[in-house]
Structure 1
Amino acid sequence: MPRFAANLSMLYPEHDFLERFAAAARDGFQGVEYLFPYEHEPRELAARLRDNGLQQVLFNAPPGDWAGGERGLACLPGREEEFRAGIAKALQYAEALSCPRVHVMAGLVPEGRERAELRSTYVSNIRWAAREAAKQGVNVLLEPINTRDIPRFFLNRQDHAHELLAEIGALNVQVQFDLYHCQIVEGDVAMKIRQYLPTGRVGHFQIAGVPQRHEPDLGELNYGYLFGVIDEVSAACGWQGWVGCEYRPARGAQAGGTSEGLGWLRRLNPAAAS
């Protein structure tokens, strides 16, 4: 069975953020991820991890003006200085939290521009980020995201991500393979797992039900089957990564909502989320 990490930006909305670490540990999670750590001091987050026996497996580099609608800076010409400052900050947090992966969001294609015009900026920025991350043993992750959730996002498909990996040419740059986004954009999810996981260039998976981004046992994807595919291919190729649970609990912020929706995890592993 894959190792599952709780995404604390989406799970446990019934708790304040810092209380979500303990909630995840009570439900049997051993790893956590979230969007951004920067509202909290590294020592506070490290204490929450330590006190609850959790491993930080992933978070995002600063995305620019998130509240203003920005979704990353990597593809944006003229924002290189801000991009580099954000990577430096992310790596400071990664060191403090012993986190081996940082997701660098690609950004939005500006109105009136073509994606191809931005490729050289993106490649150059990710190469720089990879060199800096390699100094402390951190992997940089690139995530294709569907354009229904984030219109005009620069990176949308698995094949596009792997083409960029080849051009970037850094071994510590990997793909963050979100099965939810993949199903919406291109489908054929199981075959893409079989195609890309053995390459060694998939650093992390994420899951959510399609189409409403709720629990993985709600919606059109057969996650029981897909987890079996991940297990099968992982056993053959030696992959030992994490699967991030990046979904919005169907019960929302109701008391016990997230925990009550973990039936899918209890069925996979009765010892977890008990």
Structure 2
Amino acid sequence: MNRFSANLGFLWSDLGLLDRIRAAADAGFEAVELHWPYDTPPQDILRCCRDAGVRLLAMNSPRGDLSEGENGLAALAGREAEFREGLLRAAEFAVAAGAPRMHVMAGVTPNTAAARATLAENLCWAEEAVPELGFLLEPLNNFDAPGYLYHLPGQAVRVIEEAGLRRTQLMFDIYHVGREGLSPAKEFDRFRDHVGHVQIAAVPNRTEPHAGSVDMAVALKHLLGRGYSGWIGCEYKPERTVEAGLPRLRQLASCLDADPERATSGA
């Protein structure tokens, strides 16, 4: 599975983080991506990844106050200082852990010009303040994340283009795209130049990617045929256990060819 990375926010969620990294390596993954690993010392993550022989691709920026339903701070007007302080701490952690990228969580807020301007200003600042990292923006579908700033790829790309961002790219999650009723192939073709990372899960249940309404083998072959050569993040919720779904995941991986450009992809 040399093209697939294991998203350890969902996979082996019953284990401690370091054990999840080891489990991913034992299952044949060569890369992992994380959600919010900040309770584990970054030096331990770095050491564990090196010992296991896996690459750490990325992690998420802080979400804010979960008790208030917050899901990121980057687009929230009036919270700029809090966002930037948190991002600096998270970036220091990511660099120490060996991650080259961070998914910046925009937050729950109406998609207004003011919110987009706040996000753009924060991302311009982040690109200057943290030259060690690249950044990713991920549209989250309205069913799972109602009220999130953007739920369509074009909405995130609009921020990137209007702000003239240089090191911020689109996280293209086929699950979120399909959940919105869009064609992954058509959306990818529209925004290919901005795609920095791809993630997969079954539509609409977010289980193993071989199931669901989107033929994942066809979708991924289309992306690869259009020039995508990066990692493919397996961000799904196992229907039973991770191990039970691995044979079908390996079958899907075997449909794909060539190695990814490991230095350029994140999660």
Q: In structure 2, what is the equivalent of residue 254 of structure 1?
A: none
Contact residue 61 and residue 104 of structure 1 kept, 8 A? yes
**CA–CA distance in 2 between the matches of 1:230 and 1:97?**
30
The CA deviation at 1:269 is 4.4
**Residues 1:232 and 2:225 are matched in the alignment:** yes
Q: What pairs up with 1:155-234 in 2 under 5 angstroms?
A: 155-197=150-192, 199=193, 201-234=194-227
Q: In structure 1, what is the equivalent of residue 128 of structure 2?
A: 131
Which of 124, 134, 140 is the matching residue for 1:145?
Answer: 140
SS at match of 1:261: helix
**CA–CA distance in 1 between the matches of 2:9 and 2:91?**
20
**CA–CA distance in 1 between the matches of 2:198 and 2:136?**
11
**Residues 1:248 and 2:232 are matched in the alignment:** no
The TM-score with structure 2 as length reference comes to: 0.90
Q: Which runs of 5+ in 2 are unaligned?
A: 255-267
Q: Cα gap change, 1:89/1:240 in structure 2, threshold over 3 Å: closer, same or farther?
A: farther
The CA deviation at 1:265 is 2.3
Q: What pairs up with 1:82-121 in 2 under 5 angstroms?
A: 82-109=82-109, 115-121=112-118
Q: In structure 2, what is the equivalent of residue 263 of structure 1?
A: 247
Q: In structure 2, what is the equivalent of residue 74 of structure 1?
A: 74
Between the aligned residues of both structures, percent identity stands at 38
Runs of 4+ aligned residues of structure 1 deviating over 4 Å after TM superposition are: none
**CA–CA distance in 2 between the matches of 1:73 and 1:269?**
35
Q: In structure 2, what is the equivalent of residue 37 of structure 1?
A: 37
Contact residue 2 and residue 227 of structure 1 kept, 8 A? no
**CA–CA distance in 1 between the matches of 2:173 and 2:121?**
24
Q: Cα gap change, 1:44/1:2 in structure 2, threshold over 3 Å: closer, same or farther?
A: closer
> Aligned letter for 1:171?
R
Say how many residue pairs are matched: 256
Contact residue 194 and residue 229 of structure 1 kept, 8 A? no
The CA deviation at 1:195 is 2.5
**Residues 1:50 and 2:50 are matched in the alignment:** yes
**CA–CA distance in 1 between the matches of 2:37 and 2:49?**
13
Q: Which runs of 5+ in 1 are unaligned?
A: 252-256
**CA–CA distance in 2 between the matches of 1:221 and 1:156?**
18
**CA–CA distance in 2 between the matches of 1:153 and 1:164?**
14
**Residues 1:28 and 2:21 are matched in the alignment:** no
The TM-score with structure 1 as length reference comes to: 0.88
CA deviations 1:23-62 (Å, max 9, x no partner) are 1001110000111121111111111111100101111011
